[in-house]
Amino acid sequence: MRKGYPTPRLEAKAKGLLTYFSGKPCIHGHVTERYVKHGNCLGCLAEKREYFNNYAKTHKETMRSAGRRFRKNHPDVHCAIQALRRADKLQRTPSWANLEAIQTIYSQAKEITEKTGIEHHVDHILPLKGELVSGLHVAENLQILLGMDNVLKSNRFII
43 lies in the site for Zn ion, by CB under 5 A: yes
Minimum distance of Zn ion from residue 41's CB (angstroms)? 3
Kindly tell me which of 41 and 136 has the beta carbon lying closer to Zn ion: 41
Kindly tell me which of 27 and 133 has the beta carbon lying closer to Zn ion: 27
Per DSSP, the three-state class of 146 is strand
Instruction: Assess contact for 123 and 147: CB atoms under 8 A.
Output: no
Minimum distance of Zn ion from residue 146's CB (angstroms)? 53
41 lies in the site for Zn ion, by CB under 5 A: yes
Kindly tell me which of 17 and 44 has the beta carbon lying closer to Zn ion: 44
Minimum distance of Zn ion from residue 26's CB (angstroms)? 3
In 59-123, alpha helices (H): 60-73, 75-89, 99-116
Per DSSP, the three-state class of 48 is helix
Can you tell me which of 8, 17, 22, 26 binds Zn ion, judged by CB under 5 A?
26
Number of residues that bind Zn ion (CB under 5 A): 6
Residue 61 CB partners (closer than 8 Å, separation 6+): none
Q: Which helix (H) or strand (E) holds 153?
A: helix 147-153
Chain-centre distance for alpha carbon 56: 19
Binding site for Zn ion (CB under 5 A): 26, 28, 30, 41, 43-44
